[in-house]
Chains A and B, each alone.
Chain A
């Protein structure tokens, strides 16, 4: 069974809107990375920045949410172009999205709490 057209359009839109959010997140992330590696990475420095910091926590949570939406839609397109379409792959993509989100939120919790 295939998804209805409206849902297909909404998926396309969700990938673009999450992309816009991700573009901002990735710029912030890249600047942070380059700043953070200057004197080598250390756990103390990373956690010093993130622990108890609500702003960083919120930022990373948003980042994870956006990527958990963005990536599975892209993988779904790739599957379709290799001839794998339908309900099965759609369910698998939901699982991929939820897994990424759960793993991601766990990571955020790990560095913020």
Chain B
């Protein structure tokens, strides 16, 4: 097989693409390519990964202009012409090479009240949540998020409105809005409402298009928009 022509971003916010030649292997993933470069060609290359199997959410990068998890992105899928351009995730400050500072991304989960607030103690019985209930199904559809930042990176609204909470944080809020055990619903809806919250979403659906876990944050954000509008019209907000 021919060699891959690989361009990788070097530097921080300011920087440039550097070119490498990497042997093309069968069943090769984009993460394999980056790892090859760091181990064989240039040990100063900084990148993040941990599990290599699509669980941890730490290896996301921009691959040929599209945000993807690199560990489960096959080269054959994204580089039919054997050319790769690998850059850091968008909409996040670059620390070095393809490593971004994800603080703001996760801070926004906290801002969106992305933590569970219960009222029961260990002395209470288990809550019963029917698997076929509407809420439980909504949670099931959205709960598998691994926090990789692909949706946040792909979202144009985040670029245009840097204070926008973004698809991942809103998706998290949506799973809690549908958690019948949670008792902080009012505060959560207030936290995700308005011009920096779910109502900034234009349904570009980049998040739905790019989520490697097959989640549709768009669906959850739409649910939040409706829930907040109806709470507002009822005078609950």
So, do A and B actually touch in the complex, CB under 8 Å? yes
Chain A interface residues (CB < 8 Å from chain B) = 2-3, 5-6, 8-10, 12-13, 16, 77, 80-82
Chain A binding surface SS class: helix
A81 to B163, CA, bound (A): 11
How many contacts between A and B, using CB within 8 angstroms? 38
Does A9 lie within 8 Å of B228, measured CB to CB?
A: yes
User: Interface size on B (CB < 8 Å)?
Assistant: 16
Whether the Cβ atoms of A8 and B160 lie closer than 8 Å is: no
Residues A5 and B194 in contact in the complex (CB < 8 Å), given A12-B199, A13-B232, A13-B233: yes
Interface centre among B190, B195, B229 (most CB of A within 10 A): B195
Residues in A whose Cβ lies below 8 Å from that of B161: 80-81
> Per a CB cutoff under 8 Å, which of A3, A9, A80 touches B237?
A9
18 contacts between A and B (CB under 8 A): A5-B190, A5-B193, A6-B193, A6-B237, A8-B194, A9-B193, A9-B194, A9-B228, A9-B229, A10-B232, A12-B194, A13-B229, A13-B232, A13-B233, A77-B202, A80-B195, A81-B160, A81-B161
Q: How far is the CA of A111 from the CA of B197 in the complex (A)?
A: 43
* CB of B90 within 8 Å of the partner chain: no
Q: What chain A residues lie within 8 Å of B195 (beta carbons)?
A: 2-3, 8, 80
Complex interface: chain A residues within 8 A of B194 (CB): 5, 8-9, 12
Q: Which of A3, A8, A16 has the most CB of B within 10 A?
A: A8
**Contact of B210 with A by CB under 8 A:** no
Check if B225 is an interface residue, CB within 8 A of chain A.
Answer: yes
* B contact residues around A77 at 8 Å (CB): 202
Question: Chain B CB within 10 Å — which of A3, A9, A80 has the most?
Answer: A9
A3 partner residues in chain B, CB cutoff 8 A: 195
Complex Cα distance, B195 from A9, in Å, reads: 8
* Residues in chain A near residue B157, CB distance under 8 A: 81
* Interchain residue pairs A-B with the least CB separation, the first 7: A8-B194, A81-B160, A5-B194, A12-B199, A13-B229, A8-B195, A9-B232
Q: Report how far A107 CA is from B194 CA in the complex, Å.
A: 35
Docked pose: A5 CA to B192 CA in angstroms:
10
How far is the CB of A87 from the nearest CB of chain B, in Å? 14
CB contacts (< 8 Å) of B229 on chain A: these are 9, 12-13, 16
In the complex, the answer to whether B190 meets A12 with C-beta atoms within 8 Å is: no
Q: Determine if A12 and B225 form an interchain contact, defined as CB atoms under 8 angstroms apart.
A: yes
B-chain residues with CB within 8 Å of residue A8 when the two chains form the complex: 193-195, 199
Q: Which B residue's beta carbon lies closest to that of A10?
A: B232
A9 contact set on B, CB distance < 8 A: 193-194, 199, 228-229, 232, 237
In the complex, per-residue mask of B133-151: 1 if CB is within 8 Å of any chain A CB, else 0? 0000000000000000000
